[in-house]
Amino acid sequence: MAIKKRILRMGYYKPPLEGRSEKDYLLLDFNERTTPTSPKVKEALKKFIDSDRLQVYPEYGDLETKIAQYAGVKNGQAMATNGGDQGIDIVCRAYLDEGDKIIIPFPAFPMHYQSAGIQGAGTLEPPYKEDGSFPLKEVLDLLEDVKVKLAIICNPNNPLGSSIPIEDVEQILRKAKEKDIAVLHDEAYFEFSGITAKDLIEKYDNLYIMRTFAKAFGIVAARAGYLLSQEKNIQELLKIRGPYDVNMFAKTAIMSALADTKYMEDYAKEIMEESKPKLESFLREKGILFYPSAANFLLLKISNPQKIAEKLKAKGILVRPKPAPDGTQSVRVSVGKLAETEKFIRAFSEMLDRSQE
């Protein structure tokens, strides 16, 4: 029995998760929340375990109503998913067949490529500009290709952090609609950036939005995300998502997190208004270049990224080498709370001082 050839040709995403303990390291490598999630989430999960309902199948009606309320869309326009990754995968499965093409501007989140590859689609990868700006003209031109069925726009981009004006996103949506092409707007970092295309859902039936509870809400271990689109589209995507793919731990965590959004908002505000500006100021003082970022991380233009990551790991801090638009490796640093940023600054300063000795 042969596995499909396209699967055999693929690689797979290998997250370097072994030995990542928050007890041993300051985790600035995966853009996770650096402090625990809301106490209300923990309390709700404990109550669920004590309720002896593990033997009962999950129900999603109230969950998706709650998500729609939070996202500011109509009932029926939100679908819960098993993490943002499943949302990406579902949209790719809905639109891509073998031989089709997908537009994924480079660099991008690895799961964009993974989900497209599973479907056998070829990727068109117009690179971001060297300053981190979005290749709008190139994307618009590629929409002319009759084999293109889907475009994924990561906004803010991961790993760059750079954002795309919603006016530019609408240009893409408008032309894509003319060409009968779907657009997935990846808003994984919405709670930090405030950037969203949700007000365009009613106007464009080719628009899908993916979001996650993994970042600012801090419930990444529960694998909780959602898709937004017109109700007719959501009804079609429900044919792809399994009826019980989102487990009750995830549902319980989401419901309780959405009942305490101020806890998330306070964290995001400190990151974006205090901690990240402090880190940016330090980097400018040291003459270290970085890409403009609308998210909770910075991509540093620095040589020997692997060596930098290893030296910081020895100091108890994890960061991550990632590709830059020109294909070279840079270092992505997640932004934690002020005290954590100060710890990173001290360690990085010591490392720089020693390199100049």
The 10s digit of each residue's pLDDT in 179-190 is: 999 999 999 999
Counting residues of the chain whose pLDDT is more than 90, the rounded percentage is 82
Burial of 179 (C-beta count, 10 Å sphere; 0-12/13-18/19+):
middle
Residues 129 and 136: their CA atoms lie apart, in Å, by: 10
Q: How confident is the model at residue 89 (pLDDT cuts 50, 70, 90)?
A: very high
Flag the least confident range among 83-92, 164-173, 198-207, 323-332.
Answer: 323-332
Residues 265 and 256: their CA atoms lie apart, in Å, by: 14
16-36+262-355 is classed in which CATH architecture? Alpha-Beta Complex (3.90)
**Is the per-residue pLDDT at 318 higher than 90?**
yes
Tell me the average pLDDT across 151-166: 97
Tell me the average pLDDT across 126-138: 96
Burial of 168 (C-beta count, 10 Å sphere; 0-12/13-18/19+):
middle
CATH number attached to the domain at 39-259: 3.40.640.10
* Mean per-residue pLDDT over the chain, rounded: 93
Residue 355: the pLDDT is 60
Residue 19: the pLDDT is 67
Q: How confident is the model at residue 325 (pLDDT cuts 50, 70, 90)?
A: confident
Tell me the average pLDDT across 200-209: 98
Task: Determine contact, residues 231/65, Cβ cutoff 8 Å.
Answer: no
**Is the per-residue pLDDT at 246 higher than 70?**
yes
Q: How confident is the model at residue 261 (pLDDT cuts 50, 70, 90)?
A: very high
Residue 17: the pLDDT is 61
If one compares 171 and 327, the residue with the highest pLDDT of the two is 171
Strands 289-290 and 101-103, by their bridges, are: unpaired
Crossing angle of helices 261-270 and 248-258, in 10° steps, is: 70
Task: Determine contact, residues 156/165, Cβ cutoff 8 Å.
Answer: no
Q: How many CB atoms lie under 10 A from the CB of residue 240? A: 15
In the chain, CATH 3.40.640.10 sits at: 39-259
Residues 6 or more apart from 288 whose CB is under 8 A from it? 300, 301, 302
Residue 106: the pLDDT is 95
Tell me the average pLDDT across 39-51: 93
Task: Determine contact, residues 116/262, Cβ cutoff 8 Å.
Answer: no
Residue 94: the pLDDT is 98
In the chain, CATH 3.90.1150.10 sits at: 16-36+262-355
If one compares 5 and 68, the residue with the highest pLDDT of the two is 68
- DSSP conformation class of 5: H
